[in-house]
A and B are shown apart, each in its own frame.
Chain A
């Protein structure tokens, strides 16, 4: 017997005068292998033509569709209704600016994060189109790739206790990005530069170690490993700083 699913969806349109945040309820017949991508489209196209949400690749690759599904931040496209109870509660991700209903502005936040962290290879070398590429050991390439796999969906930040208190906190996505460039031999930033970037309470020392980020990351990024790597690096950085102070 097919189930009738009940969707309780957070609604709010900030561009609509006098609109108040509220919950709308929709019913939908469950079909085999139904995921939330298809379910939300069916609701929009038949019941609520103004329902706002974000999907792009619908394949778990682009990171657009993260939302709170029964209280947990995750990707809607790859969530099957078969894994959920009859009633499904959908809320937008907290922390990010709400654009409307289930749509939040992760794009601008991640763009600003990239800018703050100078998320690019720092090098003085010019590209020489006639030269062979600089060599890299494949294990290093794989290690960079592990952190590079972040799809900027925002689940880690939405799940993070520190981020809810300190809006400037870099979050797991930000720290992971720092790790990605620390691992990269092409980036010339030294210990002092990394230290200034992340050794603060909105950086690696703001993390209180609850690791909800690690629980919810849809890409299973090695966040624990990356954080401990950065902390080890930063601790050695602190020693450098203390030694320098002693000398003066």
Chain B
């Protein structure tokens, strides 16, 4: 087995991974990036709408600042977020946007003077400040008090990823693409690298490093019907889970985006509604203002998706051979807007479903979109339970999103976490010793080659694609927008049965090389186990918070459930282990989000009592000591200076 050594190993070369690699390279470290696909094909490239940062340059962003951004983020999370991490994010987002401008992103800019926009369904003229001409502008997104989403038309992920990868090329960072990490190499709770399979020729290699970071994106493809790229199968979170030592956080927190197109489930950006798009029902009636008079189409995604489903259940959906859907109306935005600022959306509609959004309505329905859960890390991005292992971006549960993330906050998270966690990774690698334990690498390598041999020669008859589809069906049927105890029991039972059948998977394709069926077979255990954790975690959480909606437990229960689910799976165990930790230090007390309605059960602890137990309980579950003490990045009660609290008694 070939063994390659570097200071830092980054698994995943989307935006978060590349930004972290750049931080290490700039610190003079030798970095290797691995990626399933060429970096520019990563799913980051598909992000359309933009990145939230409180630059406040547009007139509709006037008065914005990191505190307001933080407030929106914490409310959006339904108080499930770590408020300190959300603060670190909000504070650094403006710097990250400017840095990306410096790296070459052609952000759309403020043009001084009047222009017509659509706000809450009405054509309105706004006047941009001439003094801000040429600064980075922003558009409106859901769940925000200000226009804060920086963008390049509707190709934001693409332009930011290209600028980032240009810099990675300039810094001559080693990239090995078409490589899939199969397991981590670790000993005594310290990670020293990964065993990797080449998707070009099937070679098994060992990569050793002082620090290893996982930045592989989400697990949306477990649902089958998802806006995600087909590579987002939870491969990175599985690397952590299979160690038996690293917990996954809040896996039941799964986001459904209001506007996946029907059929194909391709996303059309929230920017459509941010720019004035409306949701209509079978009668052409605009229903959102009825449910959400304040935010209307621009409530948070969990709320809009729930309202859409609710409206469909009322019999107001549009029947089609692909199931029921609603309409997204962009016609009033006009040809120029749709072929410039929403050009990707226009192309997607024209090419994939033959709908011309200038003249026609777009069929949409809520579709799996984002994984709030993932590898649980501390505020430095250091994984619980394993030294030398970091995670960032969608694969991580850092956790600034809690139970619902705001549109524009995940793309921004990739570059902010890439910067903040990237620096922590570099700091760690600078002082860590290399443990070039080749015999340990051989041991882990042999486990993988044995597994491959087993899959290729097994006498079982289970088809891996059929199993994948069965997992997806169970999640779609029972662990979707609305959940019940009864349905979740069915999912748990069904997934348990699937777990029992995994040993019978046989790979039919015997050809050497890429062997796509073998790749799928190597992923299936991770997919099944993570699906099980999602379903079981959702069953255990007897409340409704953010995107996790229990019809049988409709209230947000801050008395019993203001916590984060941690699931780990000991090697050889039949069942995962579930633990719960405090969400993090609280500064903004739990309250009403201002949209979504719903009941609340109040916490019975004071903030001081809650905060006193955070660090101790988190450390008991594997959190490493952070470089700064807990809470130092969370300024006390800064929110009191901001609307709506400023004028409140």
Contacts and interface: CB of A to CB of B under 8 A. Distances in A.
Interface of A: 13-16, 32-33, 35, 44-45, 49-52, 54-64, 78, 99-100, 103, 106-108, 110-111, 114-115, 118-121, 125, 127, 129, 131-138, 140-142, 144-145, 148-149, 151-152, 184, 186
A133 B201 contact: no
Contacts of B175: 111
B348 A110 contact: no
A51 B519 CA distance: 12
Interface in B101-135: 101-104, 106-111, 133-135
Given A78-B351, A120-B170, A137-B109, A16 B98 contact: no
A141 B152 contact: yes
A110 B177 CA distance: 12
A4 B165 CA distance: 43
B171 to A, nearest CB: 9
B263 interface: yes
A8 B43 CA distance: 30
A100 B511 CA distance: 11
A120 B166 contact: yes
Nearest to A219: B347
11 contacts: A56-B42, A62-B46, A63-B40, A107-B39, A119-B169, A120-B103, A120-B166, A136-B106, A138-B110, A138-B137, A148-B106
B621 interface: no
Interface stretch (B154-162, B239-247, B384-392): B154-162
A145 B43 contact: no
A56 B41 contact: yes
B104 A15 contact: no
A137 B170 CA distance: 26
Contacts of A107: 37-41, 177-178
B344 interface: yes
B522 to A, nearest CB: 14
Contact of B159 (A44, A121, A148): A148
A210 B39 CA distance: 31
Closest 5 CB pairs of A and B: A107-B38, A135-B134, A15-B513, A49-B509, A50-B509
B631 interface: no
Contact of B512 (A13, A45, A120, A127): A13
Interface of B: 37-43, 45-46, 55, 95, 97-99, 101-104, 106-111, 133-137, 152-153, 155, 158-159, 162, 165-167, 169-170, 175, 177-178, 200-202, 229-231, 263-264, 266-267, 321, 340, 344, 347-348, 351-354, 465, 507-517
A111 B347 contact: no
Given A15-B201, A186-B104, A62 B41 contact: yes
Nearest to A33: B263
B104 A184 contact: yes
Nearest to A55: B230
Contacts of B158: 61, 148-149, 151
Given A100-B513, A138-B109, A186-B104, A61 B169 contact: no
Contact of A58 (B111, B230, B354): B230
Contacts of A49: 507-509, 516-517
Contact of B514 (A99, A134, A152): A99
Contact of A133 (B135, B351, B508, B511): B135
Contact of B177 (A108, A121, A125, A152): A108
Contacts of A106: 38
Residue of A63, A106, A107, A133 with highest tally of chain B CB at under 10 A: A133
Contacts of B165: 114
A56 to B, nearest CB: 5
B167 A120 contact: yes
Contacts of B231: 56
A129 B133 CA distance: 20
Contacts of A51: 516
Given A13-B511, A119-B169, A145-B106, A60 B351 contact: yes
A129 B103 contact: no
A57 B511 contact: no
Residue of A35, A61, A129 with highest tally of chain B CB at under 10 A: A61
B610 to A, nearest CB: 34
A211 to B, nearest CB: 21
A144 B510 CA distance: 47
Nearest to B152: A145
B109 A135 contact: yes
A61 B170 contact: no
A110 B38 contact: yes
Contacts of B512: 13, 15-16
Nearest to A52: B514
Residue of B135, B263, B264 with highest tally of chain A CB at under 10 A: B264
A115 B173 CA distance: 11
Given A50-B515, A56-B41, A64-B37, A129 B167 contact: no
A61 B178 contact: no
A30 to B, nearest CB: 15
B46 A115 contact: no
A133 B132 CA distance: 11
Given A45-B465, A119-B169, 12 more contacts: A15-B202, A50-B516, A63-B40, A107-B41, A127-B99, A133-B107, A136-B134, A138-B108, A140-B106, A145-B106, A148-B106, A151-B45
B482 to A, nearest CB: 27
A100 B514 contact: yes
A64 B513 CA distance: 19
Contact of A57 (B43, B97, B102, B167): B43
A59 B266 contact: yes
Given A60-B347, A115-B169, A35 B45 contact: no
A137 B135 CA distance: 8
